[in-house]
Structure 1
Amino acid sequence: MKENVIGTKTFKFSVKIVNLYKSIIDQKKEFVLSRQLVRSGTAKGALVRESEQAESRADFIHKLSIGLKEANETDYWLDLLKESDYISDLEHNEMKEDLGEILKLLTKIIKTSKST
């Protein structure tokens, strides 16, 4: 069976987000912004998983499109947490690199699915 690259990447990203969330609440005692990050940061993985059981191509595209929106929201929260000094430049850059790969993959999968 072929490896589900987007599924693997979004799951690993979700684990990193959960660990970053725990670090922020433990070390910085920040609970509002970090909760938004963990919500949007893990949602795309759940949506990718849901898309595996889509009822139709339209349903598949819809679920991944919502995942793409969640990825963009995660990008916002990462930038805000960095600019407000809740995460380091290193943490920010590492997460943004992973997120960039996910954004590209989701965009490509959605475009390909719409054209076939």
Structure 2
Amino acid sequence: MTSEQLKERTKQYSLLIINLVEQLPMTPASRIIANQIAKSGTSVGANYMAVCRSRSDREFIAKMEIVLEEADETLFWLEIIKEKQWLPNQVIDMLWKEGNELTAIFVSSLKTVKAKINL
């Protein structure tokens, strides 16, 4: 997968997260979670854009670790939403699958670059 394809994929993931947020019930608790997942889910794509502008391998690693952290946080909030049964499982499961696939890509990229510079 090229960086351009991954940019598009992370942007689409951000849009899917926004769609999920717009479907959540508006209770005091769900508003808090909606805000959290909106921030972390859209940060995956935004921070991946920064990764693509990295000027060195070390900068790439630092920025990619932020992307990975945001992706992990988003998966956590998806678990909370699922366990609270705020949305149908099929909505959450599709986002969970995509989030896990993106996370695997980010981990693989990090391992490759770290091995390249012997970290």
Q: CA deviation at 1:57?
A: 1.1
* Structure 1 segment 68-79 matched on structure 2, within 5 A: 68-79=68-79
1:55 aligns with 2:55: yes
Q: What is the TM-score normalised by the length of structure 1?
A: 0.90
Unaligned runs of 5+ in 2: none
Q: What letter corresponds to residue 49 of structure 1 in structure 2?
A: M
Looking at structure 1, the residues matched to 58 and 3 of structure 2 have their Cα atoms a distance apart, in angstroms, of 23
Q: Structure 1 residue runs of 4+, over 4 Å off?
A: none
* Structure 1 segment 10-89 matched on structure 2, within 5 A: 10-24=10-24, 28-29=25-26, 30-89=30-89
Contact 2:3 / 2:52 at 8 angstroms: preserved in 1?
Answer: no
The alignment yields a C-alpha RMSD, in angstroms, of: 1.2
Name the counterpart of 1:102: 102
Q: What letter corresponds to residue 40 of structure 1 in structure 2?
A: S
Measured against aligned partners, the alpha-carbon deviations of 1:48-82 in whole angstroms (never above 9, x if no partner) come to 10111113211111111111011111111000011
Contact 2:47 / 2:63 at 8 angstroms: preserved in 1?
Answer: yes
Contact 1:6 / 1:106 at 8 angstroms: preserved in 2?
Answer: no
